[in-house]
Amino acid sequence: MDKIILEGGVPLNGTVAVSGSKNAALPLMAASLITPGRHVLHNVPDLRDTRTMLKVLETLGTRWSREGGTVYLDTSELTGAEAPYELVKTMRASVLVLGPLLARVGLARVSLPGGCAIGARPINYHVRGFEQLGVKTVLEKGYVEASAQGRLQGNVVYFDNPTVTGTENLLMASVTASGTTVIKNAAREPEVGNLIDMLVSMGAEIEGRDSDRLTVHGVERLAEAEATIIPDRIEAGTYLIAAAAAGGEVTVQGCIPDHLPSLVEKLRGTGIQIKEHDTSFTVTSPGWTEGSRNLRSVDIRTMPYPGFPTDLQAQFMALMTTAEGVSVIHETIFENRFMHVAELQRMGADIKIDGCTAIVTGKKRGELCGAPVMATDLRASASLVIAGLAAEGITEISRIYHLERGYENMAEKMRKLGARIKVVRE
C-alpha cells in the first residue's frame, strides 16, 4: 500500500503552480459526449479521477489521446449508453454522463454511485430534474435507467439545495432540449461557470452565469468544443493553508484569487499575511514558533459558493489544531465529513464533535506529534499532510490513492517548497 512519509517542523518557501481544476475537468470532459465530433480540452490535470472519467468515456465509445495538459476527445461514435458499476463506484462524478447522453441519444443507464466516506451522496435532485424535462426514469438493480421519446422538453427545474453536479447535469441535458429550461436554486461554483463557457462556445444559449437562476434556450445542435479548464481553487486553497500551518513565505501561482473569497478572509483572521495579485497569492506565515502561537483561532461554517468551501474544511481544521484558542467548525453540506478528526486526534489534536460541529482547541508546539495515520477520503488526506507539516516528528500517511484522486504530484510540489516529504511505493 503506497504511503507518504513526511517530517514536520520545516517551513515552506518558494512558488507552487496550481493545476487545472478536477471539478471542472470532469463535467467538461463529459460534455464532449453531447456533440459527435472531435473536442479539445486544455489544462486537464492528470489525476486518478480524470483517468477514471476517460475510462468511462471510453466504455461509451470515445477515443482519446493526451499531449501534456491537452486532452483530445473523439466522440463521433457512441457504442453504448451505460456507465458500469465497476467505474461509477470508484468515482461518483461518473453520473455526469447522464445529462450529455440524454441530450445526445435520449437514453442513459448509469449505476447509482452509492455512498462514499463523506455521505450518502444521493442523486435524487438530478433524477427529478430530468423527469421535469420529460425523461422517464426507472431505478432498478442499483442502476438508473433514463429515457426520453425524442428531444427533451424545456421546463422549470427547482433544486431543494444547490447541487453542483446536479446543476451541471441539467445544463448538459437542456442545451438541445426543445424550448426553454429555467434552473432555480442552481449552484454558483466557478466550475459551473467553466462548463457554461464551454457550452456557449459550442453554440448553447445560456443566461445567468454565476447566479442561482440559469435560463437555457434549447438549440438544435451544438458544435465541437475547444475549452480550457480553470485553475483548481481547492488545490490553491490547500497550499495556502499548508503554508499557514508550516510557516514561511509561499507564492501560489496560476490561480484565480476571486475564486477563494471566504478562505482568504478566514486566513487573514488567523493573523497571517496574504497578498493578492492578478493570478497568484503570496502568503507569509510565522508558523508555529517555539512557546507562543502566532495563529489566532477562527470559526468557519461551510456553505455553497461563495461561502466557505466544504472541500477546504478538513484542511482548515488541521490548521486550527495549531492555533491559539478554540475554533468552531460547522459542516453544513455533507453529513459525515469529519473522517479526518479521528486521525488528527491520533496526532494529539484536541477536537470534540457534536453532530455536524467540531470544536477544535489549538495545541502548543510539541503537543501535536507525527504518527502513522490513514487517509479516508480525498480532502481528509490533504488535511493529514498539513497536520504532518506542522507536527513534530514523522507522519506516515497510508491509502494515499485517496490523495492522488484530486492532487497532481502533491509530494513533488511540497518537496519543491522545502517540505521533507516522500512517497513510498509498496
**Which residues contact ligand EPZ by CB under 6 A?**
22-23, 26, 93, 119, 121-126, 161, 163-166, 187, 310-311, 333-334, 378-379, 406
**Is 356 designated active site?**
no
Phi, psi of 150 (to 5 degrees): 75, -150
Q: Minimum distance from CB of 94 to ligand EPZ (Å)?
A: 10
Q: Minimum distance from CB of 229 to ligand EPZ (Å)?
A: 13
The DSSP element (H or E) to which 105 belongs, if any, is helix 98-105
In the complex with ligand EPZ, the residue whose CB is nearer, 167 or 176, is: 167
CA neighbours closer than 13 Å in the CB half-sphere of residue 310: 19
Catalytic residue among 116, 255, 356, 369: 116
In the complex with ligand EPZ, the residue whose CB is nearer, 66 or 121, is: 121
Q: Minimum distance from CB of 302 to ligand EPZ (Å)?
A: 8
Between CA 294 and CA 145 the distance in angstroms is 55
The DSSP element (H or E) to which 320 belongs, if any, is helix 313-320
In the complex with ligand EPZ, the residue whose CB is nearer, 344 or 391, is: 344
Q: Minimum distance from CB of 391 to ligand EPZ (Å)?
A: 23
In the complex with ligand EPZ, the residue whose CB is nearer, 104 or 379, is: 379
Q: How many CB atoms lie within 10 A of CB 211?
A: 10
Classify 340 as helix, strand or coil: helix
In the complex with ligand EPZ, the residue whose CB is nearer, 60 or 403, is: 403
Q: Which of 24, 36, 92 lies closest to 61 in space, CA to CA?
A: 36
Q: Minimum distance from CB of 353 to ligand EPZ (Å)?
A: 18
Residue 149's Cβ-count burial label (10 Å; 0-12, 13-18, 19+) is: exposed
Q: Minimum distance from CB of 174 to ligand EPZ (Å)?
A: 16
Between CA 21 and CA 159 the distance in angstroms is 24
In the complex with ligand EPZ, the residue whose CB is nearer, 370 or 406, is: 406
CA neighbours closer than 13 Å in the CB half-sphere of residue 68: 2
Could you write out the DSSP letters of every residue in 55-92?
HHHHHTT-EEEEETTEEEEE-S-----EE-HHHHTT-G
Known catalytic residues are 116
